[in-house]
């Protein structure tokens, strides 16, 4: 009997993040494979990236609808040129940085990462991007800063999903400063060597491969350095189900489903579920959480 339900879990057993929200709406109205950096270990031998088609047609981007195919269908309306990112708070050089200005200053590399959604599906994604640390260093992080807050564009004319009170818009996320500065944390600007498609968070989005996908906030317009832990969208929507840390952890289940295993997108209907790895396989981040009870800080 032990854990039978974990192994037999099917998609039907996993309630998407949106399910409880749809009810509310009704009521209301890879591992570092191919990393350029020497420090990044190659641990994903045998892992092949998902196809362009899979990565760009099965998405979560609630500003464009809550269905997995809605973002690909609706995000074409998003204007990403010009694009400005406001960097403010506890930095030496606050200001409005244009996307072009950022791209000129940053070194873009290829990073093939595992991507694990809290809904228990996963992909392997060949991102192009730069280290968030480099952007933060450019802005000059001040000594009292302890957290980084991120904000997605709020533009109702182009984002049909904003009409629905699914989340408290705009979508916001946050990291502890040491998590933000970790070399695995990137700002992605492309996929398969092409500019990031709108449904994946164009023109630039966060990717934190050892955390559940919802931390990887899309289409970022503001980055603020703060001394206090910033509010985050899913935590505000349901703090019991979604914590601030949201590290991938097979031992800490979501209150409504197991996190012990995952369904690899593209594996086919009869593919065996894969075991979920602690920190999504990125063990080198373990030191960031030394001494913390990760079932409490989930």
Q: How far is the CB of 191 from ligand MTE (least distance, A)?
A: 8
When the beta carbons of 63 and 179 are compared against ligand MTE, the nearer one is: 63
* Near ligand MTE by CB under 6 A: residue from 14, 31, 44, 59: 59
Residue 20, judged by CB atoms within 10 A of its CB (0-12, 13-18, 19+), counts as middle
Q: How many residues bind ligand MTE (CB under 6 A)?
A: 16
Specify the stretch interacting with ligand MTE by CB under 6 A; choose among 6-14, 59-67, 135-143, 266-274: 59-67
Cβ neighbours of residue 12 closer than 8 Å, sequence gap 6 or more: none
Q: Which of residues 77-116 bind ligand MTE (CB under 6 A)?
A: none
Specify the stretch interacting with ligand MTE by CB under 6 A; choose among 19-27, 40-48, 133-141, 210-218: 210-218
When the beta carbons of 200 and 280 are compared against ligand MTE, the nearer one is: 200
Q: How far is the CB of 206 from ligand MTE (least distance, A)?
A: 8
Cβ neighbours of residue 202 closer than 8 Å, sequence gap 6 or more: 78, 80, 195, 196, 219
CA distance 272 to 134: 39
Are the C-beta atoms of 199 and 56 separated by less than 8 Å?
yes
Q: What is the number of the residue whose Cβ is closest to ligand MTE? A: 213
Residue 200 touches ligand MTE, criterion: CB under 6 A: yes
Are the C-beta atoms of 129 and 189 separated by less than 8 Å?
yes
Instruction: Report the chain's terminal Cα–Cα distance, integer Å.
Output: 27
For residue 190, the cross-strand partners are 128, 195
Binding flags for ligand MTE, 214-243, as an x/- string (CB under 6 A)? x-xxx-------------------------
Residue linked to tokens 């996993």? 14
User: Contact residues for ligand MTE (CB under 6 A)?
Assistant: 17, 59-63, 117, 152, 171, 200-201, 213-214, 216-218
């Amino acid at each position: 009997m032990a854990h039978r339900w974990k192994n037999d879990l099917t998609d039907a057993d996993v309630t998407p993040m949106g399910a409880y929200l749809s009810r509310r709406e009704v009521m209301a109205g890879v591992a570092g494979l191919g990393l350029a950096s020497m420090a990044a270990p190659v641990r994903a031998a045998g892992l092949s990236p998902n196809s362009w088609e899979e990565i760009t047609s099965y998405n979560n981007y609630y500003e464009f609808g809550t269905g997995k195919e809605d973002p690909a269908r609706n995000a074409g309306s998003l204007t990403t040129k010009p694009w400005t990112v406001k960097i403010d708070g506890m930095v030496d050089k606050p200001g409005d940085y244009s996307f072009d200005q950022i791209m000129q200053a940053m070194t873009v590399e290829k990073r093939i990462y595992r991507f694990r959604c809290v809904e228990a599906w996963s992909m392997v994604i060949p991102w192009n991007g730069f280290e968030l640390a480099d952007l933060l260093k450019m802005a000059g992080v001040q000594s009292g800063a302890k957290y980084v807050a991120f904000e997605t564009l709020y533009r109702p004319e182009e984002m049909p999903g904003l009409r629905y009170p699914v989340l408290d818009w705009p979508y916001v996320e946050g990291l502890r400063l040491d998590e933000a500065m970790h070399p695995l944390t990137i700002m992605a600007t492309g996929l398969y060597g092409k500019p990031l498609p709108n449904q994946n968070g164009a023109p630039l989005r966060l990717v934190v491969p050892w955390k559940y996908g919802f931390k990887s906030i899309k289409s970022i317009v503001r980055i603020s350095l703060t001394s206090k832990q910033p509010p985050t969208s899913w935590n505000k929507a349901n703090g019991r189900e979604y914590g601030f840390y949201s590290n991938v952890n097979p031992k800490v289940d979501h209150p409504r489903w197991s996190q012990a295993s995952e369904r690899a997108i593209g594996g086919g209907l009869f593919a065996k579920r894969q075991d979920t790895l602690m920190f999504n396989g990125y063990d080198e981040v373990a030191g960031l959480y030394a001494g913390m009870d990760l079932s409490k800080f989930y």
